[in-house]
Amino acid sequence: MSTAELAATGPQVGTERPMSTGAAVAGVVRAETAKLIRRPATWLLLAITLVLSLLFTYLVPYAGYAGDTGGFRADLGLAALLPDRLVGNSIGGLPVFLGAIMVILGVLTVGGEYGWGTWKTLLTQGPSRLAVYTGKLLTLAVATLATVLAVYAVGAVTSAVIAAAENQAIHWPGLGDLFTGIGAGWLVAGVWAAFGGLLAIALRGVALPVGLGLVWLLAVQNLLAVVAAPLIGWVADLQQGLPGPNAGSLVAALGANSETPGVQQVVSGGQAAAVLAGYLVGFVLLGGVYLRRRDIL
């Protein structure tokens, strides 16, 4: 069900008085929230996120530890899986793999109207383009935060079970470290979701933006970091200003394992957070400019 169809089920604004911006944004948020909850793809993306996080952060390393096979995280052993590593373990996948899922979520949330061809129907309900865009972004912000919190929750339960099974003392991160980690994860997830939203608006679709976003996260930025940067000096310098390496630097500063793809301390954590915040604002503003000035069809 599209935003236009959901909005049409609520109170209608006729010609008696114009809809206020706040009411328009609130209506879009309600409609987008209902749409995300009812859309099976939303729950599928969340399930994939949690399965990937659980499998490659805890279950595979623990199986290797229990079987004494070495490999990934063999140098850290059981210590890498305990509750005191919750922050780093929860956000380590966001620079690449979990970040790719956030791109898809951003494309679906912001660009769904292109896929359904319902922009005209939606805008005739009363809200302006920017009111619709703002409502979509607010909904997307809540969705990314909920995803990050879900990853933390699954990680907390799994790490506690592993600690109990191995008769290890359970020590949780401090509240300050936990809130910092959640905020950092939300920032990285928000950057990738906003990137997906920008691609959806710029390309006026869903399939191509998803494809290009995944190619960038899973292929291009890794090739730049692994292949080009060690050989070409200016590419190595360029890494310090790209969103992927800064995301990897931020989560590395908070304890993410450096063996995780995309996690590398290229710049300091503070600089990485500032660069990512700049990208977030830039993606959001550029998407708004495109949506406001270009033909929606």
User: For residue 68, is it within any domain?
Assistant: yes
User: For residue 23, is it within any domain?
Assistant: no
Task: Give the closest residue to 193 by CA, choosing from 272, 99, 274.
Answer: 99
DSSP sequence for the chain: --HHHHHHTS----SSSPPPHHHHHHHHHHHHHHHHHH-HHHHHHHHHHHHHHHIIIIIHHHHHHHHT---TTTTTGGGGGSGGGHHHHHHTTTTTHHHHHHHHHHHHHHHHHHHHT-HHHHHTTS--HHHHHHHHHHHHHHHHHHHHHHHHHHHHHHHHHHHHHTT----PPPHHHHHHHHHHHHHHHHHHHHHHHHHHHHHTSSHHHHHHHHHIIIIIHHHIIIIITTT-HHHHHHHTTSHHHHHHHHHHHTT--TTSTT---SS-HHHHHHHHHHHHHHHHHHHHHHHHHS---
Give the pLDDT score at 71: 52
The structural domain count of the chain equals 1
User: For residue 165, is it within any domain?
Assistant: yes
Structure tokens at 196: 């997906």
Cβ proximity of 90 and 152 under 8 Å: yes
Range of the domain at 78: 33-293
CB-CB neighbours of 266 under 10 Å: 20
Structure tokens at 59: 């279950």
User: For residue 2, is it within any domain?
Assistant: no
User: For residue 240, is it within any domain?
Assistant: yes
Give the pLDDT score at 17: 47
User: For residue 14, is it within any domain?
Assistant: no
Give the pLDDT score at 68: 65
User: For residue 210, is it within any domain?
Assistant: yes
Cβ proximity of 61 and 80 under 8 Å: yes
CA 39 from chain center: how many Å?
18
Task: Give the closest residue to 136 by CA, choosing from 274, 288, 252, 259.
Answer: 288
Cβ proximity of 233 and 246 under 8 Å: no
User: For residue 247, is it within any domain?
Assistant: yes
Q: What is the pLDDT along the chain (297 residues), one digit of tens a residue?
A: 555 554 544 444 344 445 677 888 888 899 899 999 999 999 999 999 999 999 999 998 888 888 765 554 544 678 889 999 999 999 999 999 999 999 999 999 998 888 777 787 777 777 888 889 999 999 999 999 999 999 999 999 999 999 999 999 999 999 999 999 999 999 999 999 999 999 999 998 899 999 999 999 988 888 888 888 888 888 888 889 999 999 999 999 999 988 888 898 999 999 999 999 999 999 999 999 998 887 766
